[in-house]
Amino acid sequence: MNVSIASTVAPTPESFGVIEWALYICSFFYPLIFFVFDLIMFLAVYRNRNDSCVPVAYMTVMSSIGMLTTFAMCVNSFVYMVLPNDYFEAFISMFGAELTLAGSFSYLNALFITVLMTINRIYMALYPFRNNDVFTQPRIFFLCGVITIITFTSMIIPYFSPCYIVFRIETRSFTSGCAPNRHPITAFQNEYAIAIPVTCMLSNFFVVFHFYADRKNLYIKFMNLFLKNKRELKNNGSNTSLNDIQARRERTLMRSTTAVTAYLAIYEVGAFLIRTFPTQYAGLPEPLRIAIFYFRYESIPIMNFYIYYVETHSTRQMIRRFLKIKNKKVNTTNTTVVTVAPRAQTAGGAGGGARRPQTAQISTTLGRVE
């Protein structure tokens, strides 16, 4: 989370007009809706924990992170709206740093886990028949645990220093306990967090380009420019159906990668622009600065809903089954499923059901690789 430029005068609920009340009410109920979604997703994943076609590890971790993030956001808005100013200040003095730690930790941890998802996706794309042996469920849980410990350590050190961070929703800013200074770790995270979604996007673009270049013989054509003995081009036209599937997969991966990464970058790109042009930002009209803040702030809780419900067909179907909502006809153009082995898993427990073969799914959306 980044230190934002705050309003010079903090409004109080007593001075709210209709627009201010609408904004703060939305800032409470909007994340509350996605808290409920994250809870439903967590319960649905638990029920289907033996389903080999569901990214159980990622969805469990991301839904837990999402609930912590949305809980912190709801509490921030709720206490500001209902508590008198003196009580609100007392609440911030007692719990503000802890609440900010919870929200900032969950947000940053989600960004780091997307790096693991991207590595998993790249490995699956390059070695689809080895993925289930390398990125197993226990190993993904272990790696997510390591990432969580590292992230929490990097957040708890500034918390115990004089430069702890407190988020104040009434001024729409993160303030440092040693302002105008910040802890070196906080300053580093604020400065370079934008590199995470950008790196993930470029990595996924590389995978898409690799498949495209290989299918179009671009590598061989480029090498033939420098070789005396020209290499023979691969005949990719012999299997038109497979080429069509590959081309659709490339387009879908490019579209979803661009959309998901752009979404993840909303908050960080906004923070980067504010840091780069602070004078110009401070000169904007107050309503426009409020709109920019809420556009960035409210983009955070929707992440799991967008990735796992809007963009990912298999997990959307799972959640709809859990809610007993009738599923539509399956669209088979979004995912290429390759049977790896004839082994079958018995889906026992709460998620019991039919036996199904172990498969390797070529992911088209972030976090779908299992």
Phi, psi of 342 (to 5 degrees): -80, 5
Q: Is the dihedral of CA 197, 199, 203, 206 positive or negative?
A: positive
- Residue 92: inside a domain: yes
How much is the pLDDT for 10?
A: 58
Mean pLDDT of the 144-173 span? 92
Share of the chain above pLDDT 90, in %: 26
- Residue 352: inside a domain: yes
Least confident of 71-85, 143-157, 193-207, 232-246: 232-246
DSSP string, 256-286: HHHHHHHHHHHHHHHHHHHHHSHHHHHTS-H
Long-range Cβ contacts of 180-183 (<8 Å, 24+ apart): 182/3, 182/158, 183/157, 183/158
Phi, psi of 340 (to 5 degrees): -95, -45
- Residue 281: inside a domain: no
Domain count, the chain: 1
* pLDDT above 70 (res 305): yes
Q: How far is CA 271 from the centre of its chain?
A: 17
Structural domain including 188 reads 13-193+302-362
How much is the pLDDT for 198?
A: 80
Length of the chain: 370
Q: How far is CA 155 from the centre of its chain?
A: 19
More confident residue, 238 or 292: 292
Q: Is the dihedral of CA 324, 48, 145, 268 positive or negative?
A: negative
Least confident of 106-120, 238-252, 354-368: 354-368
Q: How far is CA 127 from the centre of its chain?
A: 24
- Residue 62: inside a domain: yes
* pLDDT above 90 (res 134): no
My answer on whether omega of the bond before 287 falls inside 30° of 0, hence cis, is no
β-partners of residue 362 are: 336
Instruction: Label residue 334 by pLDDT band (50, 70, 90).
Output: very low
- Residue 20: inside a domain: yes
Mean pLDDT of the 144-152 span? 95
Q: Which residues contact 292 (CB under 8 A, 6 or more apart)?
A: 270, 284
- Residue 205: inside a domain: no
- Residue 357: inside a domain: yes
Q: Which residues contact 20 (CB under 8 A, 6 or more apart)?
A: 11
- Residue 342: inside a domain: yes
Cβ–Cβ < 8 Å for 345, 356: yes
Core vs surface per residue 212-222: b (16+ CB within 10 A) or e: eeeeebeebee
How much is the pLDDT for 293?
A: 85
Instruction: Label residue 253 by pLDDT band (50, 70, 90).
Output: low
Q: Which two tokens stand for residue 92?
A: 């911030």
Mean pLDDT of the 25-35 span? 91
Phi, psi of 359 (to 5 degrees): -130, 160
Write the CATH number for 133: 1.20.1070
Mean pLDDT of the 102-126 span? 85
How much is the pLDDT for 115?
A: 86
